[in-house]
Amino acid sequence: MSPAFNLETCARPNILALEPYRCAREQVPPDYKDDGSNVLLDANENAYGSPLAIGANSLKSEAAAAGLDLFGLHRYPDPHQEDLKQQLCELRNNHAHTVQTLTPANLFVGVGSDEAIDVLLRCFCVPARDRILVCPPTYGMYGVSAQVNDVGLVKVPLTAAPEFGVDVPAVLAALDAAVAAPEYDIKVVYLCSPGNPTGATLKKDDIAQVLAHPTWNGIVVVDEAYVDFVEDQRTASLAEWVLEWPNLVVMQTLSKAFGMAGIRLGAAFCAAPIARLLNALKAPYNIASPTSTLARSALTPQGLAAMQVNRAKLVSQRVRLIESLPQIPGVGRLRGGTDSNFLLYEMLNAQGQPDNAVALAVYTKLAEQYRVVVRFRGKEHGCLGCLRITVGTEEEMSQFLEALAKTLAEVRQ
C-alpha cells in the first residue's frame, strides 16, 4: 500500500460529505425480502410494463420491418442518435405552445434524466461558486448532483399543499439576491412538473415569470418525467416552448408512462445552442444500441398505441384509488395533484392528525407483513404523515387496499 495515500484528503471534500440519493428500492425496511412476488408501489414504475410487452414474441420481426437492428452489438452505437431524436420531436411537435417545430438540433439524449441533470450543472455552474435553486418538496437528485459538482443549493419551497405551486415572488426575490451578490450566482432553476412527490402540474404562467426575469442570466429546467399522465396530453408538455425561450430546458424520460425504466433513456429539449453544449459534454457513445433500438420501437405508432393502452389502465386505477382511499379509516387528505402515476396521502393517528410515526409504522408493516412496498415522504416540506403510493395493476391495487385497511386498523389501536 502507498504510505502517502489518504482517502480523506485525496477525495474532494464535497464528495466525502455527500449523502447519496437513495432510490426507492433501497429504503425498504430491513426485514423486507424481494422474492419476486411482492407488490412494488414505491418507485413510480409502470406496472403494466413497456409497449414492447404487447406482442413481445414478434419484437424482432417488427423491429426489422421498421428498419431497426436489434443486434449489431459488435459496433459502437450511433453517437448522435438523430433518428431517435427525430421520433422524440415528432412525439412533442403538436404546436400547442408555438408555431415553430422541434428538430433533432433541439435535443440531448442521455442515460435517464439524471444524466441531463448532471450535464446541465457541469455546463453552467462553476464549482465552489455558483448555485442552483430548487423548490421542495421535489426530486432529490437535483441536490445530490449539485453536491457532487460542488455547487451550492438554494431552496425556495413550493406553496402550501394541496396546490404545491411555484412561489413566484419568493423565487424572483432569490434570483434578485443572486444578481446583486458578487460572491455567487444562481445559474439553474429546477422545477418538477408534474412534481415528485406532489403529483401537481405547475402553472405555465408561473414558469414564464421566472423565465422572464429581467436581470437574471440563467437556465430554467422543467422536469416532465410524469407529463404523459396529465389529462390534457396535447398541452401538458412544454417541450416545444424551448423554441420561444432560449433559457428553457425541458427534461423527459421513457421510464414512466412508457414503462421502460430498465433501458435508462432520458431527453432534454432545449434551444439549439444549449443542445450543442450539452452534446459536447457527453460521453462519446452514451446511448447503447439496445437502448436506442428499444426506445425507437416504443416510439413507433404501434408502440405509442400500446403505451396509451397501458396509460388508460393506470389512469383507471388512479381513479379507483382516489375513490377508495378516503373510505379507509386512518387515511387523511390527498396532498398535491393527480397528474402522475402516484398519489400522496396522509396517514392519521387516533386523534385524526397526520402523523409521521403512524405513516412510518404503516410503511414498515405493509412491506414486512403484507409484501407491499410504498414510500414514506413525511420528512419532506408540506408532506407531514404522507405516503407516496405508485398506481399499479388492478390486482396490485386490490392487494394494497386490503393490506392498508388492515395495517391502519392495527397501527392506530
Q: Per residue, what are the HEC states of 142-205?
A: HHHHHHHCCCEEEECCCCCCCCCCCCHHHHHHHHHHHHHCCCCCEEEEEEECCCCCCCCCCCHH
Q: Kindly state the cell numbers that stand for 219.
A: 437556465
C-alpha dihedral sign at 101, 106, 110, 115: negative
Topology classification of domain 70-300: Aspartate Aminotransferase; domain 2 (3.40.640)
Half-sphere exposure of 239 (CA within 13 A, CB side): 30
- Lookup: cell for 7: 482517502
**pLDDT reported for residue 377:** 97
Q: CA-to-CA distance for 360 and 375, rounded, in angstroms?
A: 9
Burial 17-53 (b: 16+ CB within 10 A, else e): eeeebeebeeebeeebeeeeebbbbbbbbbbbebbbe
Give first-to-last CA distance, the chain, whole Å: 58
Strands 248-253 and 266-270, sheet pairing = antiparallel
Q: What are phi and psi of 165, to 5 degrees?
A: -105, 175
Q: What is the pLDDT of residues 353-379, one digit of tens each?
A: 999 999 999 999 999 999 999 999 999
Dist CA 293 CA 290 (whole Å): 5
Return the pLDDT at 12. Answer: 54
Residue 356 CA to residue 96 CA, distance in Å, equals 42
Backbone angles phi, psi at 412, to 5 degrees: -90, 5
Report pLDDT for 312. Answer: 96
Distances (CA, A) of 68 to 174, 260, 271, 304: 48, 18, 29, 17
What one-character DSSP code corresponds to residue 129? T
Cβ(186)–Cβ(174) under 8 Å? yes
Burial call 312-346: b when 16+ CB within 10 Å, e when fewer: ebbeebbeebeebbeebebbbebbbbbbbbbbbbb
pLDDT at residue 36, as a whole number: 65
pLDDT under 70: residue ranges of the chain: 1-7, 9-12, 14-16, 18-28, 30-36, 50-74
Q: How buried is 297 (Cβ within 10 angstroms: 0-12 exposed, 13-18 middle, 19+ buried)?
A: buried
**pLDDT (tens digit per residue) in 204-230:** 999 999 999 988 888 999 999 999 999
Cα distance between residue 31 and residue 186, in whole Å: 43
**Nine-digit cell at 340?**
402522475
**Distance in angstroms (rounded) separating the CA atoms of residues 58 and 14:** 49
Kindly indicate whether the domain formed by 7-51+304-411 is annotated with CATH number 3.90.1150.10. Answer: yes
Where in the chain are the domains?
A: 7-51+304-411, 70-300
Q: What single DSSP character describes residue 325?
A: G
C-alpha distances out from residue 359 to 33, 363, 408, Å: 20, 6, 9
Q: Is the peptide bond before 197 cis (omega within 30 degrees of 0)?
A: yes
Q: At what angle do helices 356-370 and 394-411 cross, to 10 degrees?
A: 120
